[in-house]
């Protein structure tokens, strides 16, 4: 092989290395994580009723733990509207401000984002009567083991004295999941046994074993998603609505309802 070919191969090698480094850095920085292969539901995954008549009843205390302002509306607002109609008392605990502070400096206005997202969340959750608690963790970098954040979440849960906790499933994840979703779910699942809650219901789960019939809530749910204007507007909003409707139809089929939101119910105590 002549020296010219050697030079070409060398420069191709360098380009490939650069490419790998850039992709690697982008993956490391981006809070979306790929779980491949995703963990499959257990072979034997019987349906469970997490005492639904108790869940959907007046005065039942429900603590919902999420990663960002908009997660509750995006993933489970049909269930939350239904809980509100039943008279349940809902507290929404949002562990980060969704301020995009993990972006490179000067590319986003963190204070403004925080303000806007708090307001959107408070507006949206007023439709299902939730009290909202913001824990102020770092967006995109929520660490479930960081002692201050952990004790803040524990105090918030202790204050609610929940009968039920609702959180992201940190164990049976979809193929692509935001790390704050996974980590907020992990923190909630780890703290749950030390609370008053008898059940934890985990959403965005690949091992769903219980379903809430949300057939009559689609229009309201769709309006709640649109309140998060800073995240979903125009074509993106249409696309998101379509994706979510498909998901609820699919989970409805699993459950025998027109539309449903699925959860993995885990009993915490008898």
User: Residue 195, exposed/middle/buried by CB under 10 A (0-12, 13-18, 19+)?
Assistant: buried
- The stretch near Zn ion (CB under 5 A) out of 13-21, 34-42, 65-73, 101-109 is 65-73
Binding map of Zn ion across residues 174-213, x = CB under 5 A, - = no contact:
----------------------------------------
Structure tokens at 267: 């009993």
Q: Contact 73/64 with Cβ under 8 angstroms?
A: no
- The stretch near Zn ion (CB under 5 A) out of 12-20, 64-72, 100-108, 240-248 is 64-72
Q: Distance of CA 118 to CAs 55, 110, 134, 140, 149, Å?
A: 27, 12, 8, 16, 18
Task: Provide the CA 137 distance to its chain's centre, in angstroms.
Answer: 15
Q: Please, which residues bridge with residue 168 across strands?
A: 203
Rank residues 55 and 80 by Cβ distance to Zn ion and give the closer one. 80
Rank residues 73 and 251 by Cβ distance to Zn ion and give the closer one. 73
Rank residues 91 and 183 by Cβ distance to Zn ion and give the closer one. 183
Using CB under 5 A, pick the residue from 31, 55, 69, 71 that binds Zn ion: 71
Q: How far is the CB of 135 from Zn ion (least distance, A)?
A: 14
Q: How far apart, in Å, do the first and last CA atoms of the chain sit?
A: 75
Q: How far is the CB of 180 from Zn ion (least distance, A)?
A: 6
Rounded CA separation 196/184 (Å): 19
CB-nearest residue to Zn ion? 68
Q: Contact 143/149 with Cβ under 8 angstroms?
A: yes
Q: Is there binding between residue 162 and Zn ion (CB under 5 A)?
A: no
Q: Is there binding between residue 67 and Zn ion (CB under 5 A)?
A: yes
Q: Quickly list DSSP for 212-240.
A: EE-GGGHHHHHHHHHH-TTT--HHHHHHH
Q: Is there binding between residue 99 and Zn ion (CB under 5 A)?
A: no
Q: Is there binding between residue 68 and Zn ion (CB under 5 A)?
A: yes
Q: Is there binding between residue 117 and Zn ion (CB under 5 A)?
A: no
Binding site for Zn ion (CB under 5 A): 67-68, 71
């Amino acid at each position: 092989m002549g020296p010219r070919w050697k030079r070409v191969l060398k420069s191709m090698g360098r380009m490939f290395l650069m490419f790998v480094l850039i992709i690697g850095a982008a993956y490391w920085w981006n809070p979306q994580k790929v779980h491949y292969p995703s963990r499959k539901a257990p072979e034997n995954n019987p349906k469970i009723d997490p005492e639904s008549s108790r869940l959907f009843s007046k005065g039942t205390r429900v603590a919902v733990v999420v990663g960002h302002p908009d997660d509750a509306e995006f993933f489970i607002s049909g269930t939350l509207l239904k809980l509100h109609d039943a008279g349940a008392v809902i507290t929404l605990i949002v562990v980060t401000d969704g301020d995009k502070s993990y972006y490179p400096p000067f590319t986003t206005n963190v204070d403004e984002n925080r303000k806007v997202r708090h307001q959107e969340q408070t507006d949206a959750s007023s439709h299902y009567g939730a009290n909202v608690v913001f824990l102020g963790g770092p967006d995109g970098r929520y660490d479930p083991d960081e002692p201050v954040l952990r004790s803040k979440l524990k105090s918030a849960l202790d204050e609610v004295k929940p009968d039920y906790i609702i959180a992201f499933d940190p164990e049976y994840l979809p193929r692509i999941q935001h790390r704050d979703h996974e980590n907020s779910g992990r923190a909630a699942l780890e703290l749950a046994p030390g609370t008053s809650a008898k059940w934890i219901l985990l959403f965005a789960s690949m091992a769903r074993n219980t379903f809430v019939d949300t057939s009559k809530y689609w229009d309201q749910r769709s309006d709640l998603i649109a309140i998060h204007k800073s995240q979903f507007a125009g074509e993106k909003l249409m696309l998101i609505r379509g994706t979510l409707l498909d998901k609820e139809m699919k989970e409805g089929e699993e459950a025998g309802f027109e539309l449903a939101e699925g959860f993995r119910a885990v009993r915490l105590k008898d």
